[in-house]
Amino acid sequence: MPASLALHDVRVRYGPVEALHGVDLAFPAGAVTALLGRNGAGRSTLLRTLAGLLSPTSGRIEWDGRDVTRWTASERARDGLALIPDGHGVFAGLSVRDNLRVFASADTIDPALDAFPVLRKRLGQRAGTLSGGEQQMLAVSRALLRPSRVLLLDELSQGLAPRVVAQLYDVVSELAAGQRTVVLVEQYAGEALRRADVAYVLRRGRVAFAGEPGELRTDGHASLFD
């Protein structure tokens, strides 16, 4: 699988604290990659670095063969990179309809309503009053309403019932089948591993595992999540 996005020896720090200690990883297009690890492992830091919200202190980020290390977050967003942050990233005070209109680059919001029919019933409701699962559906709709090519999802399944997670992952898998690059950040999550084509585990800011998701489903990998 050709790499769409890749990090080469990337280091990121918050003031005196280094959170990523030289990470080399590649994220293929047309595939779902699961990026796992325990709390504080550096997963959100990595996604924020890919999105251009954090700058590496050294190393390089490549996107379709281009060096994008110095691109701003908005340049990356304009080129089709979407980050769905931890905690939804919807406009809580706006109605569902207005959220969808803000996300949409064309004047139709139908692709989101077709993917998540429940949102059709909630169009007039303020986004902040939706259930957690509905808020995530609304957040994922952003990628359906813009010509996105890379979708970075931070803890999509957190706090949601398995049935809702399955519905969200169905849509995400379809996005990957359409040649998008999808990165699912989760804690050790069985469903993410079932959906993923590639799996990585970060441990304390370093890559502790890179390989087939199936390998992680077997026992004996508990120490990766220390």
Ligand X SMILES: Nc1ncnc2c1ncn2[C@@H]1O[C@H](COP(=O)(O)OP(=O)(O)OP(=O)(O)O)[C@@H](O)[C@H]1O
- Which residues of the shown chain bind Mg ion in the complex (CB under 5 A)? 44
Q: What is the DSSP string of 135-180?
A: HHHHHHHHHHTTT-SEEEEESTTTT--HHHHHHHHHHHHHHHHTT-
Beta carbon of residue 160, minimum distance to ligand X (angstroms, whole number): 16
Beta carbon of residue 81, minimum distance to Mg ion (angstroms, whole number): 18
Length of the chain: 226
Residue 43 engages ligand X in binding (rule: CB under 6 A): yes
Q: Which are the contacts of 19, defined by CB distance < 8 A and separation ≥ 6?
A: 12, 13, 42, 45, 205
User: 56 or 144, CB closer to Mg ion?
Assistant: 56
**Positive/negative CA dihedral, 39, 21, 3, 86:** positive
Beta carbon of residue 127, minimum distance to ligand X (angstroms, whole number): 22
CA distance 151 to 178: 12
Binding partner of residue 37 among ligand X, Mg ion, none, CB cut-off 5 to 8 Å per kind: ligand X
Binder of ligand X out of 4, 33, 45, 99 (CB under 6 A): 45
User: 76 or 203, CB closer to ligand X?
Assistant: 203
Residue 42 engages ligand X in binding (rule: CB under 6 A): yes
Residue 40 engages ligand X in binding (rule: CB under 6 A): yes
Q: At what angle are helices 96-103 and 132-144 packed, to 10 degrees?
A: 30
Beta carbon of residue 56, minimum distance to ligand X (angstroms, whole number): 13
Residue 44 engages ligand X in binding (rule: CB under 6 A): yes
Q: DSSP class of residue 126?
A: B
Residue 19 engages ligand X in binding (rule: CB under 6 A): yes
Q: DSSP class of residue 203?
A: E
Q: How many CB atoms lie within 10 A of CB 62?
A: 16
Beta carbon of residue 49, minimum distance to Mg ion (angstroms, whole number): 12
Residue 16 engages ligand X in binding (rule: CB under 6 A): no
Point out which residues bind ligand X (CB under 6 A).
14, 17, 19, 37, 39-45
